[in-house]
Amino acid sequence: MSLDSALNKAATTIPECVAAGYVDVSSGMLLAIKTVDSHPREVIDLVAAATADIFNGPNVSMIEKMFKRARGLSDDGHHYFQEIVVNSDNLIHVFLRGKRNPEYVAVFVCRRTANLGMALTKARIAMPDLEAAAG
C-alpha cells in the first residue's frame, strides 16, 4: 500500500479527522498529506516545520539530553517524546512518533468535538500501516 493510501485509510478511521500528514522530522519535510479542505502550500509547509520543531527542536533535544544525563544514560539517539496532543480552540492535533523509524511522525487533526481517547486509539492503530507504507 502506498503512503498516500495508508494515510487516507487512517484519516477515514480516526473520528472527525480533517487532516492527516506524515512528516520526516529530521528534515522537516512533509512526506504525505490528506486534508478535507484546500490550504495554501505555505501553511502546509509550516505544519511540517512546526512538527519537526516540536519533536526535534533545540529545547526539546536539550531536555532529552538532560534527562539522559540525570539518569546516567548514554546519548544513544533515543527520544523520550513519543506522542504529543495539542488542543487548540477548534481542533485536536495528535502527533505520533514512529517506532520503526523515530524520525517519522504522523499528524492527525480532528475537530474539537471528537472523542480524544478514540482519536488517539485509532491513530495508534493506524501507525503500523503508515510505517510499513513509508518503508
Say what the pTM is: 0.91
CATH class of residue range 3-51+81-134:
alpha beta
Mean residue pLDDT across the chain: 92
Using H for helix, E for strand and C for coil, what is the string for 7-57?
Answer: HHHHHHHCCCEEEEEEEECCCCEEEEEEECCCCCHHHHHHHHHHHHHHHHC
- Res 54: pLDDT: 92
How large is the average pLDDT for residues 96-109? 96
Spatial contact of 19 and 34, defined as CB atoms under 8 Å apart: yes
pLDDT tens profile 103-125: 999 999 999 999 999 999 999 99
